[in-house]
Amino acid sequence: MQTTPPSPDGADILCEILAVNEALSGLKDLDAILDRILTESRRIARADAGTVYLVEDGRLRFGYVHNDTLIGQGKVTKDVYADFTLPMDSTSIVGHVAATGRALDIADAYAMAPDAPVAFNPAFDRKTGYHTTSMLTLPVITSQGAVSGVIQLINAKDDAGRPVPFGPQARTLLPLLATMASVAIERAIMTRELILRMMQMAELRDPSETGAHVTRVGSYAAEVYHRYAQMAGTDERELKKTKDLIRVAAMLHDVGKVGISDKILKKPARLDPEEFAVMRMHTVYGARLFQNSTSELDAMSGSIALNHHEKWNGTGYPGRLDGLAPAQAPGPPKAGTEIPLEARIVALADVFDALGSRRSYKPPWPDEKILALLREERGAHFDPDVVDAFLDIFEVIAAIRDKYTEDQPAPDAPEGPAG
Ligand SMILES: [Fe+2]
Ligand SMILES: [Fe+2]
């Protein structure tokens, strides 16, 4: 016989809420925040799986997913880069919750009352072999009262791991969590938009540095770091914190190009040695934007801006510097682990993306040609362990590339997920 856990008392609720708030407030990046929202809400509700959607242009856009049964815990997966939208109406459970702004608690998706306001779509279960039982779907509501997203949790589990209906703990705490999530999501969207706007300034100078390029480089860097850190046995806390920072910081790798003149940036021919020396300064200009700061994000952004053109074998630039003061002659290039890990990762992500993109002087390279070059440069231009981590998750890299193409709207949901 199954026992219902007791309702949480006031002190429990307060402790939980403080813990969740603490977990969310330290994060900068939107994906990291959505990931953490799912981690915390699944922990509280003991749910096997969960998905977050965000309202965008009047539709629900897929944001992030966890599924212990299908994906596993803490794995690098392409599933989090799925790209589809759903209408905000009663054709789906998440759409219904977004449209009405009211939570929906379903004990068994396959035994819903025939007169329920919305029906369960079993297409996702059929396609994947997953079995959805209980579902708790909550609106994320902003302080202005607008629905900004939906959190859907699937299959609450009992001590033996069997699916059970969601308990009082989940029903009491999750609406509070959704309120905190709304604040964190809003903040993260603002950060991302601010960064994209900063990069648009650099893009005015260098049209190859588009918003899509920097978004891809940020995501490649985050996932390659994740795999690298797993291979290196980095502890989970450190991994999550750095993954959050590196995605945002990597997006700013070329922000120093705002300091380079159009004459050089847009020159249709090869740069002469003097011009190239000026061009190389974009690394130092970028790093200067972040100096004298105590924030970890600024420190990492500066480190990436400065070092993303250094090469593992010591043939890159700008080379060792004594501070960032103007008009000093740089020392010899950095090499090996003297180059910070985050910059070794962004070096690969940036080159990979440039090779696969169209440029005025070349068509996009096919994957085989790019991968052959990366293998060739393993231990030369690039850190061999970073190349290994990259190749190991190439499927995820390809999903990121498909998701963040130059200005294309997300397609409709393929078959409809569980929601
Ligand atoms: Fe650069
Ligand atoms: Fe770039």
Confidence of residue 366 (pLDDT cuts 50, 70, 90): very high
Q: What is the pLDDT of residue 1?
A: 47
Domain residue ranges of the chain, discontinuous segments joined by +: 10-187, 206-403
Please say whether the beta carbons of 251 and 216 come within 8 A.
no
Please say whether the beta carbons of 63 and 38 come within 8 A.
no
Q: Can you tell me whether residue 144 is helix, strand or coil?
A: coil
Confidence of residue 7 (pLDDT cuts 50, 70, 90): low
Q: If you average pLDDT over residues 388-414, what whole number do you get?
A: 86
The conformational region for residue 46 under phi > 0 = left, psi -120 to 50 = alpha, else beta, is left
Confidence of residue 307 (pLDDT cuts 50, 70, 90): very high
Q: What is the pLDDT of residue 102?
A: 96
The CA 282 to ligand 1 mean position distance, Å, reads 7
Place of tokens 């963040």: 404
Retrieve residue 400's tokens.
């990121």
Q: Tell whether the torsion through CA atoms of 23, 25, 26 and 32 is positive or negative.
A: positive
47-56 and 59-67: which strand pairing? antiparallel
Q: What is the pLDDT of residue 360?
A: 73
User: Is the pLDDT score of 415 beyond 90?
Assistant: no
The conformational region for residue 414 under phi > 0 = left, psi -120 to 50 = alpha, else beta, is alpha
Rounded to whole angstroms, what are the CA distances from 103 to 22, 35, 175, 178, 296?
Answer: 25, 21, 8, 11, 37
User: By C-alpha distance, which of 54, 52, 50 is closest to 66?
Assistant: 50
The CA 209 to ligand 1 mean position distance, Å, reads 9
One DSSP character per residue, 326-369 reads TT----SPP-GGGS-HHHHHHHHHHHHHHHHS-BTTBPPPPHHH
Q: What is the pLDDT of residue 410?
A: 66
Q: Between 231 and 262, whose confidence is greater?
A: 231
Neighbours of 320 (CB within 10 A): 12
CB-based contacts of 357: which residues, under 8 Å, 6+ apart?
208, 213, 364
CATH class for the region spanning 206-403: mainly alpha
Please say whether the beta carbons of 171 and 105 come within 8 A.
yes
User: Is the pLDDT score of 64 beyond 60?
Assistant: yes
Q: Of the given ranges (144-148, 267-271, 342-346), which has the lowest mean pLDDT? A: 267-271
Residue in 28, 240, 243, 257 annotated catalytic: 257
Please say whether the beta carbons of 258 and 382 come within 8 A.
no
Answer yes or no: pTM beyond 0.75. yes
Note the ligand closest to the C-alpha atom of 349.
2
Confidence of residue 418 (pLDDT cuts 50, 70, 90): low
Neighbours of 262 (CB within 10 A): 10
The CA 213 to ligand 2 mean position distance, Å, reads 7
Identity at 407, one-letter amino acid code: D
Retrieve residue 394's tokens.
């190439």
| Residue 257 is among the residues annotated as catalytic for this protein | yes
The CA 308 to ligand 1 mean position distance, Å, reads 6
State what percent of residues in the chain have pLDDT above 70: 94
> pLDDT tens for residues 53-63?
999 999 999 99
Average pLDDT, the chain: 91
Note the ligand closest to the C-alpha atom of 309.
1
Retrieve residue 21's tokens.
């708030």
Please say whether the beta carbons of 172 and 13 come within 8 A.
yes
Q: What is the pLDDT of residue 322?
A: 84
Same fold flag, 10-187 and 206-403: no
The CA 404 to ligand 2 mean position distance, Å, reads 15
Do you find a cis peptide bond into 414, omega within 30 degrees of 0? no
Phi, psi of 253 (to 5 degrees): -60, -35
Please say whether the beta carbons of 166 and 156 come within 8 A.
yes
Confidence of residue 417 (pLDDT cuts 50, 70, 90): low
Fold of 10-187: Beta-Lactamase (3.30.450)
> pLDDT tens for residues 244-302?
999 999 999 999 998 898 888 888 788 899 999 999 999 999 999 999 888 999 999 99
Q: If you average pLDDT over residues 361-381, what whole number do you get?
A: 95
Distance from first CA to last CA of the chain, Å, rounded?
A: 29
Note the ligand closest to the C-alpha atom of 305.
1
